[in-house]
Amino acid sequence: MTLEGFAGTTSVVTGAAHGVGRALAHRLAREGSRVVVVDIRAEDAAVVADELTAEGADALAAACDVSSRHDVAALGERVAAWSPGGVQVLCNNAGVFTPRHAATATHEDWEWVLGVCLWGVIHGIEEFLPGMVASGQDCHILNTASMNGYVPSRHSTLYSTAKYGVVGLSETLRMELAATRVGVTLLNPAAVRTNISRAEETRPTRLARSRQDPDDAAFADYGLSPALEPEQVADLALEAILSGREAVFTDQVLKPLFEQRFARILSAFDVLPGPAAPGPSDG
């Protein structure tokens, strides 16, 4: 099913204090949704929630480390108390990046990036999807992956591992939910003006690196178009939700990169023998 609009819905947006998450929260609020502003830092979430309420929207600020199942369960309890009618829009948007190659990454690096970027999505689905399905209402899940969930670079081992997982999860979930009233859209940004390069500032102390090394190179140059503003990406994402589209991309430059990638994959079939000739029919 496809949402006809956001008015009267309750939305949960993770990573909502900055960047695309903040833009999603503002756009949803303007469209009439009650918004749960979720971020790892309580004070940052409160700032955005205050912005929304100042504009006349209903908003709840919630501090939550989405990599923690315990935190997300507590979030679910707060949301249920605040919105007895349930959640209709779930934006699993929180993400982090650290400039580490596989050879220099510590176990804590892996645990942190996968914990937020992949397990954060899984935890959101665990907590909110059963209620969305059981409600019988039109609902939608927006999972934020990345162009790096399709086209990796030599600088994105940890990040791409997580985002490939989000792509696979979302594509499968969309098929699984096809007979329900819950839709799924996958957001795959390319260059966006966000502060994800400062994500280390939000790393939990429990996942501090066990050793210190010089940073690896942070980003690859794909020749992407100039970075979009987060508000432009939010507009594309919400339009895709209302259209029931499977995926959102933000840069036409990606298309030939995808074509090259899939051509390489298809070429692996060239070494296989052709299909066997049909055997003689019985009788």
**Burial class of residue 247, CB neighbours in 10 A (0-12, 13-18, 19+):** middle
> In angstroms, what CA-CA distances link 101 with 154, 191, 194?
8, 20, 22
Contact between residue 60 and residue 78 where contact means Cβ atoms under 8 Å apart = yes
- Give the single-character DSSP code of 201: G
Structure tokens that stand for 127 in this block: 């907590």
Average pLDDT for 133-158: 94
Residues contacting residue 228 through CB under 8 Å, at least 6 positions apart? 189, 190, 191, 192, 193, 250, 251
Residues contacting residue 128 through CB under 8 Å, at least 6 positions apart? 12, 76, 79, 87, 90
Contact between residue 113 and residue 164 where contact means Cβ atoms under 8 Å apart = no
Q: Which residues are catalytic?
A: 159
Domains with residue ranges and CATH for the chain: 10-214+224-270 (3.40.50.720)
- Please state the pTM of the whole predicted model: 0.93
- Categorize the per-residue pLDDT at 281 as very low, low, confident or very high, splitting at 50, 70 and 90: low
Query: pLDDT per residue over 174-210, tens digit each?
Result: 999 999 999 999 999 999 999 888 898 999 999 998 8
Query: pLDDT per residue over 212-238, tens digit each?
Result: 777 766 565 678 888 899 999 999 999
Average pLDDT for 116-139: 98
- Categorize the per-residue pLDDT at 152 as very low, low, confident or very high, splitting at 50, 70 and 90: confident
- Give the single-character DSSP code of 93: -
Average pLDDT, the chain: 93
Query: pLDDT per residue over 44-98, tens digit each?
Result: 999 999 999 999 999 999 999 999 999 999 999 999 999 999 999 999 999 999 8
